[in-house]
């Protein structure tokens, strides 16, 4: 585990199931943090408060306080005040300042936030924290909602001494995520940086013991998020609470210098890709993970439009659930995406099976082979738009009757 952190979780009575639902990660010696939040115009109280706290401290971090079972969204001023009250209680309990606490919530929208339950849990949380992998896993489990599996990933980066990095050693990254529905993250730019183009609840927490300042963490996080969390969709519903938090304790003694950056960025990207894949593989009702490999687009924006439109097309997603090689639905979705291409220049493959080329069904199209490929738990659909050189790789899943059952369940 990365040095410089303790984790813990307790039952506070917010989840109807009675499972652990309040979690904390503390950097007892302090840390530096940055975050990327949802670009939904409607945002939860912890997104508003967390952004404010990270800005007011310039990234100084004491703890992240997370709960599941209530999103604290559409809860108005009482929601904001309740959120702040929980930060104050955590700061008092764990010895930092209230704005060094980053709050986080996931669960139902629009139900008044039970701040008093979170505050009352503080003594138990204080007793629960520890620095082992088991403690960190408790944290990761407490933030789960409809997730069926805990989602964690880690990396160890060996660092040799160099001109800019006198200290050799190891840097560790450990991250966890939750999210199985309302997943189509379109995370904005890191807090305090200019907004770019806009973007379930997905919560992701990344802890590392490297020493870094906020601009370097921003650059590393933005680069790692683009091909991972910002390139996945379960249902197209971008949440009001999406959060990716990166915290660096510095406890390894290794600084994020230019020498170290490539290895760190690569390791962080791997951790983020692993967590993003774990989210899709545990999607509500999922039976197949589909990788969309879009090639030959005129622009990156066009590649993105084709990928997102197919990923969120009910007709594509239902066909995937039965392994139906109904590739016409892929083409129809691409056609309504807004991307520009010529139908007769498009080529498509399901796994290695050619399905469409030169405006017609591929002569080699083998329905049985395409169906067999689609019965694998994970496969790639490749679409070459034949317009240019832009590409994207997007991760999504099928739509099943079980997804409908989970989300029609009145108790959620």
Select which of 201, 238, 243, 396 is catalytic. 201
- Distance from first CA to last CA of the chain, Å, rounded? 34
What SS3 class is residue 152? strand
Position 166 contacts a copy of itself (CB under 8 A): no
- Residue from 135, 227, 234 nearest 178 by CA: 234
Position 396 contacts a copy of itself (CB under 8 A): no
The span of 34-42, 148-156, 219-227, 259-267 binding a copy of itself (CB under 8 A) equals 34-42
Report yes or no: 53 and 62 within 8 Å, Cβ to Cβ. no
The number of C-alpha atoms within 13 Å of 55 and in the hemisphere containing its C-beta is: 12
Q: How far apart (Å, rounded) are the C-alpha atoms in residues 342 and 358? A: 10
Position 188 contacts a copy of itself (CB under 8 A): no
What SS3 class is residue 211? strand
Kindly tell me which of 160 and 375 has the beta carbon lying closer to a copy of itself: 375
Position 18 contacts a copy of itself (CB under 8 A): no
Question: From the CB of 72, what's the least distance to a copy of itself, in Å?
Answer: 11
Question: From the CB of 243, what's the least distance to a copy of itself, in Å?
Answer: 15
Kindly tell me which of 125 and 183 has the beta carbon lying closer to a copy of itself: 183
Question: From the CB of 181, what's the least distance to a copy of itself, in Å?
Answer: 7
Question: From the CB of 186, what's the least distance to a copy of itself, in Å?
Answer: 8
Q: How far apart (Å, rounded) are the C-alpha atoms in residues 33 and 50? A: 11
Mask of contacts with a copy of itself, 294-333, x by CB under 8 A?
Answer: ------------------xxxx--xx-xxxx-xxxx-xxx
The span of 13-21, 58-66, 114-122, 179-187 binding a copy of itself (CB under 8 A) equals 179-187
- Residue from 165, 163, 393, 225 nearest 297 by CA: 393
Residue 201: active-site member: yes
Binder of a copy of itself out of 59, 62, 79, 175 (CB under 8 A): 79
Report yes or no: 343 and 383 within 8 Å, Cβ to Cβ. no
Q: What is the DSSP letter of 238?
A: -
Kindly tell me which of 97 and 362 has the beta carbon lying closer to a copy of itself: 362
The number of C-alpha atoms within 13 Å of 141 and in the hemisphere containing its C-beta is: 13
Q: How far apart (Å, rounded) are the C-alpha atoms in residues 161 and 145? A: 43
**Range 331-370, binding a copy of itself (CB under 8 A):** 331-341, 343-344, 356, 358-361
Question: From the CB of 391, what's the least distance to a copy of itself, in Å?
Answer: 19
The catalytic site residues sit at 201
């Amino acid at each position: 585990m990365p040095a410089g952190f303790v984790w813990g979780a307790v039952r506070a009575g917010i989840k109807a199931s009675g499972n652990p639902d309040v979690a904390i990660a503390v950097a007892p010696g302090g840390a530096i943090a940055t975050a990327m939040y949802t670009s939904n115009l409607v945002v939860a109280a912890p997104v508003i408060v967390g952004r404010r706290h990270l800005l007011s401290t310039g990234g100084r971090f004491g703890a992240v306080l997370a709960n599941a079972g209530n999103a604290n969204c559409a809860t108005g001023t009482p929601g904001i005040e309740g959120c702040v009250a929980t930060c104050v209680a955590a700061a008092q309990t764990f010895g930092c300042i209230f704005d060094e606490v980053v709050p986080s919530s996931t669960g139902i929208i629009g139900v008044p936030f039970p701040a008093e339950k979170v505050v009352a849990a503080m003594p138990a949380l204080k007793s629960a924290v520890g620095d082992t992998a088991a403690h960190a896993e408790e944290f990761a489990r407490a933030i789960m909602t409809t997730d069926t599996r805990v989602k964690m990933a880690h990396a160890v980066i060996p660092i040799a001494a160099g001109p800019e990095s006198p200290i050799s050693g190891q840097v560790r990254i450990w991250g966890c995520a939750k999210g199985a529905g309302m997943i189509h993250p379109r995370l904005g730019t890191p807090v305090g940086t200019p907004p770019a183009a806009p973007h379930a609840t997905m919560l992701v927490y990344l802890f590392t013991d490297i020493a870094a300042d906020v601009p370097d963490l921003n650059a590393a996080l933005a680069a790692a998020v683009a091909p991972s969390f910002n390139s996945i969709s379960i249902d197209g519903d971008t949440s009001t609470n999406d959060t990716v938090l990166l915290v660096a304790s510095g406890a390894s003694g290794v600084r994020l210098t230019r020498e170290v950056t490539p290895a760190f960025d690569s390791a962080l990207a791997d951790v983020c890709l692993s967590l993003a894949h774990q989210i899709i593989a545990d999607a509500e009702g999922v039976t197949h993970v589909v990788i969309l490999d879009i090639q030959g687009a005129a622009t990156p924006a066009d590649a993105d439009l084709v990928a997102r439109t197919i990923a969120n097309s009910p007709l594509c997603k239902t066909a995937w659930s039965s392994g139906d090689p109904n590739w016409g639905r892929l083409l129809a979705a691409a056609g309504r995406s807004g991307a520009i291409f010529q139908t007769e220049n498009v080529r498509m493959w399901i796994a290695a099976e050619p399905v469409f080329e030169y405006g017609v069904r591929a002569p080699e199209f083998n329905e049985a082979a395409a169906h067999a490929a689609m019965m694998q738990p994970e496969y790639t659909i490749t679409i070459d738009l034949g317009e240019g050189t832009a590409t994207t790789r997007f991760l999504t899943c099928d739509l099943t009757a079980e997804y409908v059952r989970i989300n029609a369940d009145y108790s959620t």
